Structure formats: structure tokens, C-alpha cells
Amino acid sequence: MILIEFECGGHRFALPLASTRRVIPTAQPTPLPGAPEIVLGVINLGGEVAIIVNFYRRVGLPFSGIEVSQQLLLVDIAGICVGLVVDRVVGIFSHEMNDQPAIPEQFAGADFVQAIRQLDDGLCIICNPEKFLLDDEIISIGHALDQISHVEH
């Protein structure tokens, strides 16, 4: 599996490259009324709306707001363009899903953790983007997007 690796709050994470659209500089999102708390807002990507999600919150890390030095990792999740706020993208690597180290206790109950990669200086948490958002969050995001599309028309 080919993965894109990124840092967030001093930890390393990765997602399948196939679910990744691109990496862009951070932008301050416009609030999205009715969206779940995990959503920081939306940005316009040349006519397409991207939902900006607080990756820090999802993985249980402290978050003090979007900073200029951070990046948005744009991924497809349940047919929605989602921007994950991350510290920086590290690179791309290939990983075989065998002989996995134990999942760190901090992430043990997280459904989105798919595997672990041992690094020379620690661990990389490999995430399944399809399990990153909860079903009720996806429904709430859909309703919130419907509301803004009705306002625009």
C-alpha cells in the first residue's frame, strides 16, 4: 500500500495515497452552521467546497487554532472533500500490512487506526480515512452543506 505520511502534534500519521487529492497551504475556513464540532468550517476550492476538519481533535491532541505554518491535506472521505489540518506532510512510502507493532494506548480505541508502522524514531499511525468521520458526523455535514446550497440558490 502506498501511503502519505504527515506530522500532527508531535506524532506521525499516514493515509492511503489513493484517497488523497493534494496538499495546500492552510486557510481560515468559513464557519459551517449546523456542522459537528469536529468541523472547523469550509473553504472554496475553485467552486468545490472542502470541509475543514480538526484532525488534532479526532486523534485526541491539543489544538490551539490554525497556524500559517500548517498544511491542509485534502482527502476524499465518504464522497466529501475533506481538508485535514496537519503540521506538515513528511512524504510518501510503501508499507506492507504484516507484523504490526502494538497500537499505542492513546489510539487503541480509535476505529480509524488501521495499522502501525515502526520508524527509527517512533511510530507512524496508519489511518483508514473511511472510518475517520463517524456516521452521524457525515449526516450532519451533509445537512449543513444542503443548507448553504439552498441559501446560495
Domain ranges of the chain: 2-152
* pLDDT digit string, tens, across residues 5-59: 999 999 999 999 999 999 999 999 999 999 999 999 999 998 889 999 999 998 8
Segment 56-79 shows an average pLDDT of 91
50 forms beta bridges with 43
Can you list the alpha helix ranges (DSSP code H) found in the chain?
Answer: 55-58, 135-152
- The contacts of residue 51 (CB under 8 Å, 6+ apart) are 32, 35, 39, 42, 80, 81, 82, 83, 141, 145
Q: Is the pLDDT of residue 64 over 50?
A: yes
Q: How far apart are the first and last CA of the chain?
A: 42
CA distance 105 to 11: 14
Q: Which CATH architecture has domain 2-152?
A: Beta Barrel (2.40)
Lowest mean pLDDT among 69-73, 87-91, 124-128: 124-128
Cell readout for 39 is 468541523
Q: Which of the 8 DSSP states describes residue 1?
A: -
CA distance 25 to 45: 12
Q: Is the pLDDT of residue 151 over 60?
A: no
Contact at 8 Å (CB) between 71 and 26?
A: yes
- In the chain, % of residues over pLDDT 70: 88
Lowest mean pLDDT among 29-43, 79-93, 111-125: 111-125
Q: Is the pLDDT of residue 98 over 90?
A: no
